[in-house]
Amino acid sequence: MPSQLVDVRSDTVTRPTPGMLEAMMGAPVGDDVLGEDETVNALQREAAELFDKEAALFCPSGTMTNQIGIKVHTRPGDEVICHELAHVYLYEGGGIASNSGASVRLLKGGNGRFTAEQVKESINRRDDAHLPWTRVVAVEDTVNKGGGCCWDLGEIERIRAVCTEHGLALHLDGARLFNALVARSEAPRDYGRLFDTISVCLSKGLGAPAGSLLLGSRELIGRGHRYRKVMGGGMRQAGYLAAAGRYALKNNVERLQQDHARAKLLEAELRSLPYVESVLPVETNIVILNLNESVSAETFLQKLRERGVLASQMGPRAIRFVFHLDVSDTQVEILLKALREA
């Protein structure tokens, strides 16, 4: 096995670069629970400006920013509309139920994307006492389980119109929103104007060691600030982490294009391999393939591991590769070679 593993299990495995570490070490910090950490305050101010929102809240994780985002829009007994592949539903430990006491209406199709029409059909009537009140629609962009696919901004605009008409809030799980922005040449403000709350992660493709931001109105973020404390997410000298986030937003956004180009290269290679049943269309840094009957997911992952590559399993026959800033050109070569040999 090669000494240095090619770790493409996720874009969360990155380590801070020397430049990022330097920015972290030199950051002025204070007690952020008291609102006195000037680096956290600067990050929150800059992010809010970027998305043209009134306020932002720095949290330890994307799970927390999503969960707070949903909590500020709901009361126990309300209902959240999201896709059946959504991270907020599948991978946040049942947090919608335990943190917000809300039920979930799941939509299907579109590799994790849905239409305004589907939303409209799923809104419960408020004059029927049997039904939970639909309160919020949650969109995920890019869609992790959808192979990193991006939403069409026009569809989001139509969903926004349905939400406005029916008095619903619109939340975005934008863990990898910057990948979508770079892939589609769109601006953060395009999203800021459509969503009531947006969660973005600094710790995925952007390469920070931890941290996510929740964006919204002053009123919503004010309430979110309290829930962050209740959930145990009030950090003290968090400016060291916020400095990594500021560095990432300045230096690591445009380079996401490189991850996308590599993912497309991998997609092309996979389509020519005999054990591959299908590959989800690649738009950003995630590649998901389905294996045919010739090999099991466990055996395939083991074969890759023996050749120095770590990938992850996303379903009975689905394998995921995610590109990020710790993958070098040489490692891309090792990955392609391992796939040809596997």
Ligand X SMILES: Cc1ncc(COP(=O)(O)O)c(C=O)c1O
Helix, strand or coil, per DSSP, at residue 134: strand
Nearest approach in angstroms of CB 210 to ligand X is 8
Nearest approach in angstroms of CB 28 to ligand X is 25
Torsion from C-alpha of 188, 193, 195, 196, nearest 10 degrees: 120
Nearer to ligand X, 62 or 216 (CB): 62
Nearest approach in angstroms of CB 116 to ligand X is 21
Nearer to ligand X, 24 or 334 (CB): 24
Q: Exposed, middle or buried: residue 17 (CB in 10 Å: 0-12, 13-18, 19+)?
A: middle
User: Rounded distance, CA 207 to CA 181, Å?
Assistant: 16
Q: What is the DSSP string of 174-221?
A: ETTHHHHHHHHT--HHHHHTT-SEEEEESSSTT--SS-EEEEE-HHHH
* Nearest residue to ligand X, scored by beta-carbon proximity: 62
Element housing 277 (H / E): strand 276-279
Nearer to ligand X, 82 or 339 (CB): 82
Is the previous residue joined to 14 through a cis bond, with omega within 30 degrees of 0?
no
Nearest to 237 by CA among 34, 83, 95: 34
Nearest approach in angstroms of CB 182 to ligand X is 16
Nearer to ligand X, 162 or 322 (CB): 322
Nearer to ligand X, 23 or 59 (CB): 59
Nearest approach in angstroms of CB 200 to ligand X is 10
Nearer to ligand X, 86 or 334 (CB): 86
Chain residues binding ligand X by CB under 6 A are 61-63, 66, 87, 140, 144, 173, 175, 201, 203, 212
Nearest approach in angstroms of CB 173 to ligand X is 5
Nearer to ligand X, 67 or 124 (CB): 67
Q: Longest Cα pair distance anywhere in the chain, in angstroms? A: 64
Sheet with 169-174: strands ordered across: 55-59, 212-216, 197-201, 169-174, 133-140, 78-83, 103-107
Nearest approach in angstroms of CB 204 to ligand X is 7
User: Rounded distance, CA 331 to CA 153, Å?
Assistant: 34
